[in-house]
Amino acid sequence: MLPRLHFAHLPTPIEALPRLSAELKGPQIWVKRDDQTGLAFGGNKTRKLEFLIADAQAGGAETLITAGAVQSNHCRQTAAAANRFGFACILVLAGEKPANPSGNYFLDQFLGAEIVWAGGSGREQILEQTFESALEDGKKPYLIPYGGSNEKGAAAYAFAMQEMLDQKADLDWIVFPSSSGGTQAGLVVGGQMFGYQGRILGISVDKPAPDLQESVAMLAGETARTLGESSKFLPDEILVNDNYLGAGYGVMGEPEAEALNLFAQQEGLLLDPVYTGRAAAGLIDLIRSGFFTADQNVLFWHTGGTPALFAHPYLERILAG
Q: What is the mean pLDDT of residues 159-169?
A: 98
Q: Work out the pLDDT band at 318, boundaries 50, 70, 90.
A: confident
Q: What CATH architecture is 14-43+150-320?
A: 3-Layer(aba) Sandwich (3.40)
User: Once rounded to an integer, what is the mean pLDDT over residues 305-314?
Assistant: 88
Is residue 102 part of the annotated active site? The answer reads no
| Residue-wise pLDDT tens digits, 222-251 | 999 999 998 899 999 999 999 999 999 989
pTM recorded for the entire structure: 0.96
Of residues 72, 102, 178, 179, which has the active-site annotation?
72
Q: Which strands sit side by side in the sheet containing 63-68, from one edge to the other?
A: 114-117, 88-93, 63-68, 141-143
Residue 321's pLDDT is what?
Answer: 65
Sign of CA dihedral 122, 124, 128, 130: positive
If DSSP states are collapsed to H, E and C, what string results for 111-137? CCCEEEECECCCHHHHHHHHHHHHHHC
Distance of alpha carbon 172 from alpha carbon 151, whole angstroms:
26
Domain locations along the chain? 14-43+150-320, 45-148
Give pLDDT, residue 68.
95
* pLDDT tens for each residue of 42-72: 999 999 999 999 999 999 999 999 999 999 9
Q: Print burial letters for 250-283: b (CB count within 10 Å at least 16), e (below 16).
A: bebbebbbbbbbbbeebbebbbbbbbbbbbbbbb
Question: What pLDDT does 6 receive?
Answer: 98
- CATH class, domain 45-148, is alpha beta
pLDDT of amino acid 313 = 77
Residue 306 pLDDT level (bands cut at 50, 70, 90): very high
Query: Using 50, 70 and 90 to split pLDDT, how confident is the model at 183?
Result: very high
Q: What is the mean pLDDT of the chain?
A: 96
Give every CB contact of residue 308 below 8 A, 6+ residues apart in sequence: 71, 73, 103, 104, 272, 273, 274, 314
- Is-same-fold flag (14-43+150-320; 45-148)? yes
pLDDT band at 217 (very low <50, low <70, confident <90, very high): very high
Residue 312 has pLDDT above 80, yes or no: no
